[in-house]
Amino acid sequence: MAKRKSGTDYDKYFFDAKARNKKTKMDGNKKKKLLILYGIVFVFALAYFIFIISGLPSLEQLENPKPQLATKVYTIDGELLGTISIQNRIETKIDSLPPYMANALISTEDRKFYTHWGVDLTRFIKAMIKNVLTFRHEGASTITKQLAKNLYHFKVKDENIFQTVTRKIREWITAVQIEKTFTKKEILQLYLNVSYFGRGAYGVESAARVYFNKKGKDLTLPECALFVALLKSPVYYDPVKHPKHAITRRNQVMYNMVDNDMLSEAEYEKLDKQPIDLVSEKINSNPTIAPYFMEYVRQQLVSMADKYGYDLYRDGLNVYTSIDYKMQQIANKAAADHLKEYQALFNRDWNWNSHKALLASIMDRAIKDSHEYNLAQTTQEKAQVYNRLKYEPDFIDSVKKAATTIQVGFVVIDPTNGQIRAMVGGENQDFGRGLNHVVGIKRQPGSAFKPFTYTVAIDNGYFPAYTLLNQKFNYNGWSPDNFENDYGGYMTLRQALAHSINVIAGRLTISNMAPPSQVVKYAHRMGIESPLEAFPSIALGTSSVSPLELTSAYGTFADNGIHVSPISILKIEDKNGILIDKFVPEFTEAISPQTASIMVSMLEDVVNYGTGAGIRRFFQYPAAGKTGTTQNFSDAWYVGFTPQLVAGVWVGFDDHRVKFTSSYGQGARAAAPIWGRFMEGTYKALNLPVKYFQMASGIDTVSFCKTTMDLGDARLATPYCPSIVRDIINSKNPPPKCEIHGGSGSRIKKEEHKGDSGW
């Protein structure tokens, strides 16, 4: 036997009491630390388990899924405008559906459906290994797990990795509970009743009516296969927008049935060539005359959901809005009639051969934004998709058409209470989820911004008959041109605004008459919310704004200087009619009534003999407004008002580089006719009374009415002027001791009239 060395741990433990005690103490400390560590892990695990359980549906929820009630949206005149819901759903029994509906679903989504207990572990492990090895994302979800997700909506927006793991665990647990609660047949039935098939259709019965206008029991095998295809992506495989994608995926679903011995090869070869015969190319399961307004309201309701604690898509709310059903119909027709005429005019003039560089840029962006390009995983795959789409005729044509489609943003507001009466958010009036050109764009308003500059000048003590030189100037390198390069001598402010003279508007901002910083301040007070740059060029509308805020700001003129913030939702009630909340707009004293009256009078002349005179082809009642055209005819505007309504029109293109090709892109021609058509139709259909603009008290009548004595232009006197003032203008002889004052607001001075006139 080998002799042990002295001083080993063995000797220390058996022959050295101190070492033995120290060792025992260390071992004890290690055990304590391990116990503490185990305790901490256990506490966290228990807490996480409780957290997981707390987010699971109750047994009652599992056995009786909560009915989902649509939110109903009403117009101000009591019409049902539309509904907001997750489920446009008609429930059906699985026995009433063709057997190949379930066969197609199982063959594609979950081939082990009848053998697993809610979670397919084998498939899950294989999918995870494949994901790691190929860097792809392949799911391993079962039908039951998808049902759990569809029923109880575990997913939250922009979830992190912890939330994702938690959600998946909850879905797995719920899937197992569903398997324990329902039979396989009941699970299939529930799944087919709650799944989303696109176009607002929830459930296969609803989808059958939306896409094919038939009952579920009458569906053919290819139609059932299409619905299973839509489960993967109702957008990418939409048979209306992407028919080729839809047919390819539908055929793949049918081939899955062949592979799963549920369809013969011969039958497949007969069916895969069949087209998709839809009931209509304009499928809309939830029709509404104001789709963009509905989406605008929906977004507001979503933002308020946390505050009021409602579920917008399930609680059956009653929402009462400001929209007027008849006005909306008239607005739709006015916009559609004008755009049809104008699109044909533009198409005759536009030639892509003259814009090859622009087309290349637009194509590049369109390809990179395409769903197919973004689905590609590797650089090589993306390059293949790019090169194919670049030369695909159908894709090129669709991009060209989208780029050259004339868009519109048109909104109508009651200026006295800010209530939106009509909204046309785009050229396509059947689709409200696209870009809303009333609230979703910001463009330069051009000359439509000039009234705010003139407002500052009037409020600073100048008057409509004040004259400025209509000649070019150079102010630190800025030298604006008049539209038709027409220059002359002196011109009154009233004439300059009516004819939209750029040089005069520019002179207002380079002088102390309307300093840019003051114009910014006034515009914001009157309803412009977008940031504005305080440069002299602001007079020509170089800062971008949205059609809604510009229209709302014009309402300040119509409402005697009071700005009322735009409002669309008046009140919300629950499903039992109990009030949740009422909504009122904000009122702001933006400018004085006197300044507003003077500006209304000047803007009336824009319509009576200025750039807005074209609306008189349609509308003969009292009206005021201003046209706007931006550089190179990019954007066309017209914003105008009557004593009862203010309405704003923007017309242009989604891609700002596509422009009108000549002067037909002016606001007076491209935008104003929509305003005129609408007002004409509204006043006739609704039998609105003729009202006139009322002059505010306290205005210096002589200053307001007179023109430059050198011009002697009596035409600029308005109906508000006493006859004696018009006589004075014509005779060029002011009354004795008659003091001429300009301005309004705090600067208003009452005239002193002493003499033969008796004033």
Residues 6+ apart with CB under 8 A from 309: none
How far apart CA 603 and CA 595 sit, in angstroms, is 12
**pLDDT reading at 244 higher than 50:** yes
pLDDT > 70 in the chain, percent: 77
Q: Using the CB atoms, write b or e for 271-283: b if 16+ within 10 Å.
A: bbeeeeebeeeeb
Residue (of 548, 586, 585, 579) closest to 319 by Cα position: 579
CB 97 within 8 A of CB 192: yes
Residue 701, pLDDT score:
61
Residue 137, pLDDT score:
46
Mean pLDDT: which of 63-72, 172-181, 186-195 is highest? 186-195
Catalytic annotation, pick one of 85, 107, 322, 447? 447
CB 681 within 8 A of CB 619: no
746 catalytic per annotation: no
Half-sphere exposure of 141 (CA within 13 A, CB side): 20
Per-residue pLDDT tens over the stretch 44-56: 767 656 666 665 5
**DSSP secondary structure, 23-61, as one string:** HHHHHHHHHHHHHHHHHHHHHHHHHHHHHHHHTSPPHHH
Of the two residues 444 and 143, the one the predictor is more confident about is: 444
Catalytic annotation, pick one of 85, 107, 109, 322? 109
When mean pLDDT is compared across 45-59, 466-480, 512-526, 693-707, the lowest value belongs to 45-59
Residue 714, pLDDT score:
38
Per-residue confidence band for 669, with pLDDT thresholds at 50, 70 and 90: very high
Per-residue pLDDT tens over the stretch 714-740: 334 444 444 434 444 444 444 333 223
Per-residue confidence band for 111, with pLDDT thresholds at 50, 70 and 90: confident
How far apart CA 699 and CA 146 sit, in angstroms, is 71
Helix (H) or strand (E) holding 512: none
Per-residue pLDDT tens over the stretch 321-349: 999 999 999 999 999 999 999 999 999 99
How far apart CA 260 and CA 587 sit, in angstroms, is 68
How far apart CA 422 and CA 547 sit, in angstroms, is 13
Residue 153, pLDDT score:
55
CATH number at 88-271 = 1.10.3810.10
pTM metric for this prediction: 0.67
Residue 127, pLDDT score:
55
**DSSP secondary structure, 227-293, as one string:** HHHHHH-TTTT-TTT-HHHHHHHHHHHHHHHHHTTSS-HHHHHHHTT-----S-SS--SS--S-HHH
How far apart CA 743 and CA 462 sit, in angstroms, is 5
CB 270 within 8 A of CB 233: no
186 catalytic per annotation: no
Phi, psi of 74 (to 5 degrees): -115, 155
When pLDDT is averaged across residues 211-222 and rounded to a whole number, the result is: 90
**pLDDT reading at 108 higher than 50:** yes
Per-residue confidence band for 160, with pLDDT thresholds at 50, 70 and 90: low
When pLDDT is averaged across residues 24-41 and rounded to a whole number, the result is: 73
Sole residue written with tokens 């119509």: 558
CB 492 within 8 A of CB 510: no
**pLDDT reading at 744 higher than 50:** no
When pLDDT is averaged across residues 275-291 and rounded to a whole number, the result is: 75
Per-residue pLDDT tens over the stretch 585-641: 999 999 999 999 999 999 999 999 999 999 999 999 999 999 999 988 899 999 999
Per-residue confidence band for 110, with pLDDT thresholds at 50, 70 and 90: confident
**DSSP secondary structure, 297-325, as one string:** HHHHHHHHHHHHT--TTTB--EEEES--H
